[in-house]
Amino acid sequence: MSSWRTRLLPPLLAIVFAVILTAIALIISGADPLQAYGTMIGQLFKGSTAVDTVNLATVYYLSGLAVAIGFQMNLFNIGVEGQYRFAAIVTAIIGGALRLPPVIHVIAILIVAVASGMLYAAIPAVLKVTRGVSEVISTIMLNAIVGGIVAFLVNADQFGVQTGNNIATREIAETGRIPGIPIGSGELFGFVVIAALIGGAYWFMLNRTRFGFELKASGESTTAAAAGGVNAKKMTLIAMLLSGGVAGLVAMPELLSRDFSYGITSTQMYGFTGIAVALLGRNHPAGIALGALLWAFLDRSAVSLEQINVSKEIAVIMQGVIVLSVVIAYEIVRRADLAAEQRRVGRALAGKGSSVSEGGAV
């Protein structure tokens, strides 16, 4: 298999295509594409942008992993968005109330995060397994509802603390925070290490354990897996819960290293980004990391476009084009490979029909 080609070519093609398409859009709107791209890349080396990009990529990476676990089972967990925000608000409340010694406090917070993410993912999982409700629809509803839950819990009548104009949960004590790694003018989240470990665990689970094999098998074909003794319903439930558990960690880098509390104005939409990042990385842990970095770069650098009077939404268009063209590119390359393979076999058979044994390529 020409695996490097099937793996690396499509994303590169997609990025090139997206660059060309957005360049056309930029020219139509009367801006200079070269200047725009130059400004975006130049921004990367200004101040703490590079470190910020990696920090944001850490968040996207976790979100992408959460989505990818569902994808392996052919489950479409759009609900990462809801799960991570639910976990964030619950963890922020409990973490802020706990009084524990340094390391134990962090561990307790992480456990709460995973558990609450799982809890919110359990709703669509149970509905799907017992009632056959499409997880796509139910998670979308739960994504919307979580906005209400956050607003309700952050309310001063419940757990919110008013500080100035902003209302958020009580700050997590010093003992519950994860120290950052100072680099240049910025500070890298300590959570980068944990995210990398989770990525490794994900890879190990999928490729080196029986559970991972069964997960992939039932994702490929439920009936075939059932014939092999895999309970598809159980796998759906577990995959959804695992996905929710990882989703629960998505907000943790920012919560434990930067914000220390969660409010209505806290960032959102990370869950949807995770879908795109997982698609970009083809569910492979290293691929997801690259996708997350690219996405974070586009997000962080787009801000600089305002300086040259270019709408920063061009980055969103670019992201949308990349996602769509990357899946199309994979398909085109797959078809081209298939056609090449067929031609090769055809040549080998037609050329020396008598000596198939020599044409070892077949």
Partner 1 sequence: MTTADVLSPNTGGTTMPVKPPKRRIPGWLKGAIWGLLAVGVLAIASYATGVNTLTSTNTAHTALRLALPILLCALGGLWAERAGVINIGLEGMMILGTWGAAWGAYHGGVWAGLISAVVFGALGGLLHAVATVTFNVNHIVSGVAINLLGLGVAKYLANLVFTPLSGNPRQSPPVPKFDTYSATFLSDWLSDLEKMQRVFISDLAGILNGLITEVAPLTMIAIALVPISYFVLWRTRFGLRLRSCGENPVAAESLGVNVYLHKYVAMIISGGLAGMGGASLVLLAGGADYLENQTNNRGYIGLAAMIFGNWRPGGLLGGAALFGYADGLQLAGGGTAVLALLYGAVILLAVIVAVQLFRRQWIAAALGVVGAGALYAIYWTNDDLPSDLIPYTAHFVTLIVLAVASQRLRPPKADGALYRRGED
Residues that bind partner 1 in the complex, under the rule CB under 8 A: 25, 29, 76, 78, 127, 131-134, 136-138, 140-145, 147-149, 151-152, 155, 272, 275-276, 279, 311, 313-314, 316-321, 323-324, 327-328, 331-332
Contact of 124 with 131, CB cutoff 8 Å: no
Considering the complex, state which of residue 19 and residue 133 has its C-beta at the smaller distance from partner 1.
Answer: 133
As measured in angstroms, the least distance from the Cβ of 218 to partner 1 is 17
Q: How many CB atoms lie within 10 A of CB 359?
A: 15
- Report, in this order, helix, strand and coil percent for the chain, each rounded to 5: 75, 5, 25
Considering the complex, state which of residue 26 and residue 87 has its C-beta at the smaller distance from partner 1.
Answer: 26
Considering the complex, state which of residue 108 and residue 136 has its C-beta at the smaller distance from partner 1.
Answer: 136
Contact of 324 with 330, CB cutoff 8 Å: no
Within 98-251, residue ranges assigned H as helices are 102-126, 135-154, 191-208, 210-220, 222-227, 232-248
Considering the complex, state which of residue 137 and residue 356 has its C-beta at the smaller distance from partner 1.
Answer: 137
As measured in angstroms, the least distance from the Cβ of 360 to partner 1 is 29
How far, in Å, CA of 163 to CA of 37, rounded?
40
Q: CA-CA distances (angstroms) from residue 346 to 149, 340, 341, 343, 356?
A: 62, 10, 8, 5, 12
As measured in angstroms, the least distance from the Cβ of 127 to partner 1 is 5
Considering the complex, state which of residue 185 and residue 265 has its C-beta at the smaller distance from partner 1.
Answer: 265
As measured in angstroms, the least distance from the Cβ of 305 to partner 1 is 11
How far, in Å, CA of 122 to CA of 178, rounded?
28
As measured in angstroms, the least distance from the Cβ of 331 to partner 1 is 5
DSSP 277-341: HHHHTTT-HHHHHHHHHHHHHHHHHHGGGGGGT--TTHHHHHHHHHHHHHHHHHHHHHHHHHHHH
As measured in angstroms, the least distance from the Cβ of 207 to partner 1 is 22
Considering the complex, state which of residue 241 and residue 279 has its C-beta at the smaller distance from partner 1.
Answer: 279
> Which residues are 186's β-sheet partners?
183
Contact of 302 with 209, CB cutoff 8 Å: no
Considering the complex, state which of residue 160 and residue 253 has its C-beta at the smaller distance from partner 1.
Answer: 160
Q: Per this entry, what is the length of the chain?
A: 362
As measured in angstroms, the least distance from the Cβ of 318 to partner 1 is 8
> Which residues are 188's β-sheet partners?
181
As measured in angstroms, the least distance from the Cβ of 36 to partner 1 is 13
Considering the complex, state which of residue 57 and residue 142 has its C-beta at the smaller distance from partner 1.
Answer: 142
Measured in whole angstroms, the distance separating CA 17 from the mean position of its chain's CA atoms is 22
